A and B are shown apart, each in its own frame.
Chain A
Amino acid sequence: MLRMYRMLVIASFRSRMQHPFNFVFGTLMAAVVNVVEFSLIAVVLSRFGSVQGWSTYEVAYLYGAILLSKTLYRTVASDVHHLEKYLVSGDLDQMLTRPVPVLLALMAQNVTIYVAEFLQSAVMLAISLSVLIGSGQTSWLAVPQTLFVVLCGAIICFAIGLATATAGFWITRIRELQVITEDSARFAAQYPLSLYPKWLRYVLCTAIPVGFANYIPSLYVVRGELGGWILAATALFTAGCLALSMRFWRFGLSRYQSAGS
């Protein structure tokens, strides 16, 4: 399975390299967009210093963690996010005639490496962690814990993205839905959830559980609240999300109506 995935990814890269200008230009543009977005956040953070009792570095941690998780998800599961394209064109048909799981084939299509996002989130995490460890607020144990949190976060982002894409089997056009479940939710998770009204906090920990991708585990990792059990709970929750979204995906795929030819 992994070999298959690797081969498809390589094929995808080679295809993209046929248009090197597009590839380079796209990567550069994405980097610029990110730098701008990041500068805005940096301005906000430096102006307010702390948000609801969360220091600048703690917020930077939340931001870096969710961004890295999302970037991992989008890199590994590339075109899951673009299922709409396949539904509209009927290109999903030929994926279904091959002896490869459709999801795997989809994940290996149009693979992009988000260089800017990777760098930016890694740098933010590194800076905030070094400050927080340096000040004695947390220990070096936070480093492996953070890697674990980011991994769980990536899986949660994947599960949310997959479930949203699956809705496309019924409604076809999913872009607007993605704005809510992926973009807005992730944007919300860049700040401490304690900032939001109770109902929204509730939504972000259940229906669109981005809260578990960074906020909840970081309560323990960087602030020492709750207890180590929360990491185990996060892992369990992540596994549950993944299982649920996969089931939903399989169900959706069986309802695929294909496009007329």
Chain B
Amino acid sequence: MISVTNISKTFRVPVPVEGRWAAARALFSRARTDKEAVRDISFTIERGEFVGYIGPNGAGKSTTIKMLTGILHPTRGEVRVAGLSPHKHRTDVARRIGAVFGQRSQLWWDLPVRDSYDILAAMYKVPDRDKRERLARLTELLELDEFLLTPVRKLSLGQRMRADLAAALLHAPDVLFLDEPTIGLDVVAKKRIRTFLQALNRDFGVTVLLTTHDMDDIEQLCRRVMVINRGELAYDGSIEALRERIGLPTTVKVTFGGSFSVPDRWEEPFRLAERGDDYVTLECNRSLISTMEVLRAAGAWGDIADVHMEEPDFEDIIHRIY
């Protein structure tokens, strides 16, 4: 469905000018440097797959997605979506794909949600009957009826995301690209979106490529994960194998009730990440040691007053591993 062969994307960016009169000199500076946002990436995605695409900020996730959707042209290499090149046959590819960018809406800001669907249906030449059928189904699955007549600008973030998902699916695309679809949403809204995406992939066989910062998105939705770091593909495989590789990193913040002392060394496999006036932050891998064991060890350092488990900072982990 999607095949990517050795693509690279180089941006030409101005060289920052330093020193005296920097701002004025920058105005006339023609110096440019090449910044390689994506370097020699290849992969194939088969029909019906649900693939997570993850990596730290600035790693090249969005650049890759933009090349797949025809927004950017790769500097080198080749992209095929449904057998076509998105930059040579942009409009043909556009008809076969749907794209949702979490940060911005593709709906008409000032118009009621339903009007956007009418415009999009005409744009994608969706026959009237198909439009009505699909819209009815999407309305039911995404519970759109509560705000179909509301102008988009008045929707909550969660509602807008549901409305945007429906908009991307109205023309029944074969592939759906999702760039941070759950960003900024609360737990309930996230769950709703995930349930929907699952059904979409399972029941309708839509191929999905998803970028996210939310590890739960990946764990619950994707069977396959690709990790990109500094523009290069660092990992491509199953979620289980990735978990084996990075383990179950956990951060525990332990606050002490009184004075405490941290010994120079200890036997248990966890490390001290930060030490404050009355607390320490500890990092461990739960595939090697249980949190209870870590706490037991820390209990010997002083009187524990409070314990706080933190979500692992995903970007941090990726950075450390690759």
Cβ–Cβ contact A15 & B70, under 8 A? no
Nearest Cβ on chain B to A221's Cβ, whole angstroms: 41
Can you list 27 A-B pairs, Cβ within 8 angstroms, ordered by A?
Answer: A3-B122, A4-B122, A8-B119, A11-B108, A11-B111, A14-B110, A15-B108, A15-B111, A16-B110, A18-B110, A93-B66, A97-B69, A97-B70, A98-B94, A98-B123, A99-B91, A99-B92, A99-B124, A100-B123, A101-B91, A254-B73, A256-B73, A258-B71, A258-B72, A260-B62, A261-B101, A261-B179
In the complex, the answer to whether A7 meets B91 with C-beta atoms within 8 Å is no
Task: Evaluate contact between A7 and B94: CB separation under 8 angstroms.
Answer: no
Interface core residue of A18, A93, A100 (most chain B CB under 10 Å): A93
Report A-chain residues with C-beta under 8 Å of the C-beta of B11: 257
State A195–B66 Cα separation when bound (angstroms): 51
Q: How large is the interface on A (under 10, 10 to 19, 20 to 34, 35 or more residues)?
A: 20 to 34
> Binary interface profile of B, 93-130, with partner A (CB < 8 Å = 1, else 0)?
01101010101101011110001000100111000000
Q: Decide: A256 and B72 in contact? CB cutoff 8 A.
A: yes
CA distance A92 to B124 in the complex (A): 18
Question: Is B223 on the interface with A (CB-CB < 8 A)?
Answer: no
- Nearest 10 interchain pairs by C-beta: A15-B110, A99-B94, A18-B110, A99-B91, A96-B71, A97-B99, A99-B95, A94-B106, A93-B71, A261-B62
The answer for the CA separation of A256 and B12 in the assembled complex, in Å, is 11
Residues of chain B touching chain A, judged by Cβ–Cβ distance below 8 Å, are 11-12, 62, 66, 69-73, 87, 90-92, 94-95, 97, 99, 101, 103-104, 106, 108-111, 115, 119, 122-124, 151, 179
Interface centre among A8, A98, A258 (most CB of B within 10 A): A98
Q: CB within 8 Å of B: which residues of A?
A: 3-4, 7-8, 11, 14-16, 18-19, 90-91, 93-94, 96-101, 254-258, 260-261
**In whole Å, how far is A27's beta carbon from the nearest beta carbon of chain B?**
17
Question: In the complex, what's the smallest C-beta–C-beta distance from A213 to chain B, in angstroms?
Answer: 32
Starting from the known contacts A94-B104, A96-B94, A97-B97, 4 additional A-B residue pairs (CB-CB under 8 Å) come to: A7-B122, A91-B104, A97-B70, A254-B73
Chain A residue at minimal CB-CB distance from B87: A254
Contact partners of A91 in chain B: CB under 8 A? 104
Is B119 touching A258 in the complex (CB atoms < 8 A)? no
A106 CB, nearest partner CB in chain B, Å:
14
Is A257 a contact partner of B72 (Cβ separation < 8 A)?
yes
Q: Name the residue of chain A whose CB is nearest to the CB of B177.
A: A97
Contact of B101 (CB < 8 Å), options: A93, A255, A256: A93
User: What is the CA–CA distance of A16 and B94 in the complex, to the nearest angstrom?
Assistant: 27
How far is A3 from B115 in the complex, measured between Cα atoms in Å? Answer: 16
In the bound complex, do residue A4 and residue B71 qualify as a contact, i.e. CB atoms below 8 Å apart?
no
How far is A172 from B92 in the complex, measured between Cα atoms in Å? Answer: 28
Minimum CB–CB distance for B150 against chain A, Å: 12
Chain A residues, CB < 8 A from B12: 257
Cβ of B209 to closest chain A Cβ, rounded Å: 14
Asked whether A96 and B90 contact (CB < 8 A) given A8-B119, A11-B119, A258-B66, the answer is yes
B94 touches A97 (CB 8 A): yes
CB of B145 to closest CB in A, whole Å: 22
Contacts of A94 in B (CB 8 A): 99, 101, 104, 106
A91 and B179 CA atoms in complex are apart in Å by: 15
Residues from chain A with Cβ under 8 Å of B94 in the complex: 96-99
Contact A256–B71 (Cβ < 8 Å): yes
Complex Cα spacing A20 to B250, Å:
55
Closest to B67 in A: A258
Identify the closest chain A residue to B97 (Cβ). A97
Q: Which residues of A contact B73 (CB under 8 A)?
A: 254-256
The residues of A that contact B91 with a CB separation of less than 8 Å are 99-101
The answer to whether B111 touches A18 (Cβ under 8 A) is: yes
How many angstroms from the CA of A90 to the CA of B122 in the assembled complex? 24
Q: Which residues of B contact A260 (CB under 8 A)?
A: 62
Residue in chain A with minimal CB distance to B65:
A261
* Complex-state Cα separation, A260 to B13, whole angstroms: 13
Task: Report which residue of B69, B71, B97, B123 has the largest number of chain A beta carbons within 10 angstroms of its beta carbon.
Answer: B71
Q: In the docked arrangement, what's the CA distance between A90 and B110, Å?
A: 19
Give Cα A63–Cα B73 distance, bound, in whole angstroms: 43
Query: Which of chain A's residues have a CB closer than 8 A to the CB of B103?
Result: 261
Q: Are A18 and B123 in contact (CB under 8 A)?
A: no
